[in-house]
Structure 1
Amino acid sequence: MRPTGRLHLGHYHGVLKNWLQLQRDNDCFFFVADWHALTTTYEDPRGIPEATREMLVDWLAVGIDPEQAVLFVQSAVKQHAELHLLLSMITPLPWLERVPTFRDQQEQLADRNLATYGFLGYPLLQSADILIYKADGVPVGEDQLSHLDLTRQVARHFNWLYGREADHDEKVEAAIKKMAKKAAGQFRKLRAAWRESGDAEALEQGKALLAEQQNLGRDDRERLLGELEGRGREILPEPAALLTPDAKFPGLDGRKMSKSYGNTIGLREAPEQVTEKIRTMPTDPARVRRTDPGTPEKCPVWELHQVYSDAETKAWAHEGCTTAGIGCIDCKGPVIEAVLAEQAPIRERAEQLASDPDRVWELVAEGNRQAAGIAEETLTEVRGVLGLGR
């Protein structure tokens, strides 16, 4: 995560609960992406250190465990930057310009100067973040799938460049010459379109073209398929997407909970503030008076019932609203109780951590060391195939 300071319930239900499950079953790396924060806030980075500490406190308070996972700060592991640099040498610019979020964020953040390499190249830095640990899976939402696709493409390209057999080019040319002249020319064009521009349609057409060639043996066909896709010895594994459900946790106004909307409940917000926020939430506008029946599906409070209430409580709230048997304040009561009960242990652990800030940095320092050691192993291999060093 980028360091944004204290987290809210949307972060907990949308991301952190998934992390808790992942750390029980996998070797996980969770890190504060402070370099990524600079891609859009480079003009005023002064708040990053405090935002980092506050976010780490929240991670630890919900149960992210340094004994089960490696917990670190990105900028403390310099190997990320080195791999990013090395990957930038082989990554065509059109691959980065084609990432959907590049244009989207430029439009959304039109008030900021984002005409920088840092902003254009941040998906490649994400690729370095992933590939340096040879991750086999990355938890992402659908909006991040294009970034993971880029990571796989970069890994495949790297492996093709530096993991091929010594006489690969000669064998490929010999195999191409076995094809008809027109088919051979078409193969070369499709290969260039996929490799240089990432044209997925060209890749599929190239595969179909190879399947039609009757005068290619199995070895030649497989070699040309690998040439087309850009496959070589696996130096940097291609990670899979661990797709997480679209967790649109409702905010106080019914929209997705987000700091930018000002509709959040902080993960460790004071109980009296939480109570007041929920008690004053807007409800179905049709319920002007206590005796007016309402429609729960039009009420933001009903969305919170979907998260926090059991079937019996939801049935009570639905019937009470549609028949005007209960008032809106009554309906909000079980939600307030459930949110406060969820927050209580998190708030208690956070208070203990906040009272001893050195402890937070000690835990992260150990994670920094662990991450750097593993990252260095990958960098040693990468430097070797690139001919760097002795």
Structure 2
Amino acid sequence: MKTKILTGDRATGALHLGHYIGSLKSRVELQQQYDQTILIADLQGLTDNGHNPKKVSENILNVMADYLAVGIDPEITTICLQSAIPALSELTMYYSNIVTVSRLERNPTVKSEIKNKKFGESIPAGFLTYPISQAADITAFKANLVPVGDDQLPMIEQTNEIVRKFNSIVGEDILVECKALLSSVSRLPSVDGKTKMSKTLGNAITLGSSSKEITSAVKKMFTDPNHLRIEDPGQIEGNVVFTYLDAFHPDKAQVKGLKEHYQRGGLGDGQVKKILDICLQDLLEPIRTKRKELIDDRQYLIDVLKAGTEKANQEAEETLKTVKASLGLNIWTDR
């Protein structure tokens, strides 16, 4: 039996280069080795967009198109919609009764995101408890591995706490613990170098960006502010252009040579940006073309997502049935 992997994205906007290098590219490779399920997390998207549900609903098929455009194959990877799998919400409710509010508030990932989103005292209850929802997602599909960035490790830890607590309460190993599969690529910075690339913050190059949008974004990229003349030695540390070249340029030897040239002087920022622009245009042009074809065939996207969701729903229902039986809550049903 193949190791099971669960991964996914919030449906709050089209996916961007940070997603591509951090997860999408690896998912295309992982689907050949593992039993992979990808969850379009629209419910989680609502945890901080409850006042604007259209931001979520209108992006579900955008995310679906991004998945297929980069090469994720629905014949071997199950792609499903979180809100269309009722067992996930029911499992979330059961788990919420064995997790304290104080434990959720201590979760470093949640604390950081609450600060970044500037909720103040107006934290949506759903946002505070979304680690429990993630635990429901992971355990519903009995995922052994969960690909994450290192900032998400506290979420994996909390999931395994829930698993151990639940198994202890019912007296048998019903739920399965998981391990994090860390990305080999650090988070991609925004074009200005101030924060991570984020669709929410509007500082991202999306997979569907036009040629002009890519060029415009590259021109705005932060370099070395002290590199005032071409002949001056420049720094590559914190230089966003070189960070992107490291991440996306296929010729690592050429990138190494560019770094050395830039550091000793004689290489202008404009020239380096032109090289990056060509690199990103070559990468995104076929993805953009395929993505447009998919977006234009809305019914195909719906059909593929529906088929994957039906398959995932059956698996999650089996987990729910076992959980309810272990809690003694299947008195007059076969669930």
Q: Quick one: which of 298, 310, 316 aligns to 1:375?
A: 316
Compute the displacement of 1:275 (Å).
2.0
SS in 2 for 1:294: coil
Cα distance in 2, alignment partners of residues 83 and 20 from structure 1 = 29
Normalised by the length of structure 1, the TM-score is 0.76
Alignment of 1:201-220 (within 5 A): none
Output one character per residue of 1:224-281: Cα deviation in whole Å (capped at 9) or x when no partner. Answer: xxxxxxxxx2111111222223522243223432235543222121112212332343
| Residues 91 and 320, structure 2, Cα contact 8 Å, conserved in 1 | yes
| Residues 254 and 303, structure 1, Cα contact 8 Å, conserved in 2 | no
Q: Quick one: which of 169, 178, 190 aligns to 1:239?
A: 178
SS in 2 for 1:241: strand
SS in 1 for 2:227: coil
Cα distance in 2, alignment partners of residues 100 and 246 from structure 1 = 21
Output one character per residue of 1:167-219: Cα deviation in whole Å (capped at 9) or x when no partner. Answer: xxxxxxxxxxxxxxxxxxxxxxxxxxxxxxxxxxxxxxxxxxxxxxxxxxxxx
Match of 1:9 in 2: 17
| Residues 49 and 55, structure 2, Cα contact 8 Å, conserved in 1 | no
| Residues 142 and 246, structure 1, Cα contact 8 Å, conserved in 2 | no
Normalised by the length of structure 2, the TM-score is 0.87
Compute the displacement of 1:324 (Å).
4.4
Alignment of 1:260-339 (within 5 A): 260-297=200-237, 299-309=239-249, 310-339=251-280
Compute the displacement of 1:349 (Å).
1.1
Output one character per residue of 1:105-145: Cα deviation in whole Å (capped at 9) or x when no partner. Answer: 33333346644432232111111111111111111222222
Match of 1:140 in 2: 148
Q: Quick one: which of 151, 162, 183 aligns to 1:154?
A: 162
SS in 1 for 2:80: strand
Structure 2: 5+ residue stretches without partners: 1-8
The number of residue pairs the alignment matches comes to 321
Change (3 A) 1:331 1:115: closer
Bigger Rg, which one: 1
Cα distance in 2, alignment partners of residues 308 and 382 from structure 1 = 44
| Residues 40 and 114, structure 1, Cα contact 8 Å, conserved in 2 | no
SS in 2 for 1:25: coil
Output one character per residue of 1:267-301: Cα deviation in whole Å (capped at 9) or x when no partner. Answer: 12111221233234343233334444433446322
Compute the displacement of 1:33 (Å).
1.0
Q: Which amino acid aligns with 1:353?
A: L
Match of 2:36 in 1: 28
- Alignment of 1:70 with 2:9, yes or no, is no
- Alignment of 1:84 with 2:92, yes or no, is yes
Identity %: 36
Q: Quick one: which of 250, 273, 282 aligns to 1:341?
A: 282
Match of 1:353 in 2: 294
Cα distance in 2, alignment partners of residues 147 and 63 from structure 1 = 28
SS in 2 for 1:128: helix
Q: Which amino acid aligns with 1:148?
A: I
Compute the displacement of 1:51 (Å).
1.4
Q: Which amino acid aligns with 2:30?
A: L
Change (3 A) 1:315 1:34: closer
Q: Which amino acid aligns with 1:91?
A: V
Change (3 A) 1:240 1:299: closer
Root-mean-square deviation (CA, aligned residues, Å) is: 2.2
| Residues 13 and 199, structure 2, Cα contact 8 Å, conserved in 1 | no
Structure 1: 5+ residue stretches without partners: 164-232
Match of 1:59 in 2: 67
Cα distance in 1, alignment partners of residues 91 and 266 from structure 2 = 63
Compute the displacement of 1:104 (Å).
2.9
| Residues 5 and 53, structure 1, Cα contact 8 Å, conserved in 2 | no
Compute the displacement of 1:304 (Å).
2.2
SS in 1 for 2:184: coil
